[in-house]
């Protein structure tokens, strides 16, 4: 999902996954580059949360660092199921029994709420929406939060369900209801990538009471 990731970084992550874990010396051997080049690439990938470092102690000798691809990094590979997801969504929409369709939709909604909202426990909306932003970013989404006096918005810079939304825009409403449940407030989907906008934006407008009336 990280479209800005360079091909050289993807190749490096792929190589590191094949090694499972490796020291800088081992990476130098496998990549055929200098120690400095490996350190620079590791620093960038660790900052992006795609690689993690662990310290391994062996006897009385000096401990060494080993590097491995994080779960977030692994999602750069092997989870590109957009075509399959589109087909499955089409098959669900073609189920004639409305009760079965509703049951499947409800289970899907429950799964997404648990996936994204499991660790969100903020006291107020401001805290919860920031937690949701972090969770989505951990899953590789490019998103940001904008908080104003009377409005809060969550913006997805790249639609995670674009291919599905082209086929059936009800997926947008499903994502909206998932976010509403997690945040505990109603949301308005004011922009959608599928409509030609540059992002998908979910907004909550705070209603104020006019004390003069």
Contacts (Cβ under 8 Å, ≥6 apart) of 36: none
Rounded CA Rg of the chain? 22
Strands 200-205 and 188-191: antiparallel
Q: What's residue 40's pLDDT?
A: 94
List per-block mean pLDDT (blocks of 10 residues) for the chain, which spans 213 residues: 69 84 91 92 92 82 84 65 69 87 90 91 94 87 88 86 80 93 95 84 74 42
Strand partners, 52: 68
Q: What's residue 89's pLDDT?
A: 82
The two tokens of residue 52 are 């993690």
Q: What's residue 211's pLDDT?
A: 41
| Sign of the torsion angle spanned by Cα atoms 83, 88, 89, 90 | positive
Q: What's residue 213's pLDDT?
A: 40
Q: What's residue 77's pLDDT?
A: 61
Domains delineated in the chain:
7-74 (1.10.10.10), 96-205 (no CATH)
3-state secondary structure string, 160-188?
CCHHHHHHCCHHHHHHHHHHHHHHCCCCE
Q: What's residue 99's pLDDT?
A: 92
144 close to 202: Cβ distance less than 8 angstroms: no
Reduced to 3 states, what is the DSSP secondary structure of residue 195? helix
Q: Structure pTM?
A: 0.61
199 close to 191: Cβ distance less than 8 angstroms: yes
Q: What's residue 207's pLDDT?
A: 56
Beta-sheet strands, E only, within 39-122: 51-56, 64-69
Q: Backbone phi, then psi, for 192, in 5-degree steps?
A: -135, 135
Q: What's residue 72's pLDDT?
A: 76
Q: What's residue 76's pLDDT?
A: 66
Q: Backbone phi, then psi, for 24, in 5-degree steps?
A: -60, -40
53 close to 65: Cβ distance less than 8 angstroms: yes
Q: What's residue 84's pLDDT?
A: 64
């Amino acid at each position: 999902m990280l479209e800005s990731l360079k091909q050289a970084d993807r190749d490096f992550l792929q190589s590191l996954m094949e090694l499972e874990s490796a020291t800088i010396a081992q990476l130098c051997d496998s990549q055929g580059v200098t120690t400095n080049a490996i350190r620079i690439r590791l620093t960038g990938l660790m900052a992006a949360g795609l690689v993690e470092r662990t310290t391994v102690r062996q006897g009385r000798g000096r401990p060494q660092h080993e590097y491995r691809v994080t779960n977030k990094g692994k999602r750069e590979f092997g989870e590109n199921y957009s075509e399959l997801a589109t087909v499955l969504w089409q098959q669900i929409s073609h189920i004639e029994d409305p009760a079965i369709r509703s049951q499947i939709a409800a289970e899907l909604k429950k799964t997404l709420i648990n996936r994204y909202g499991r660790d969100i426990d903020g006291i107020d909306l401001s805290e919860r929406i920031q937690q949701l932003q972090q969770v989505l970013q951990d899953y590789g989404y490019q998103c940001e939060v904008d908080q104003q006096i009377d409005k809060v918005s969550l913006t997805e810079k790249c639609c995670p369900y674009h291919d599905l939304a082209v086929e059936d825009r009800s997926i947008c409403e499903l994502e909206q209801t998932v976010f509403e449940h997690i945040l505990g407030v109603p949301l308005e989907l004011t922009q959608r990538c599928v409509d030609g906008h540059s992002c998908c934006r979910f907004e909550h407008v705070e209603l104020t009471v006019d004390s003069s009336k």
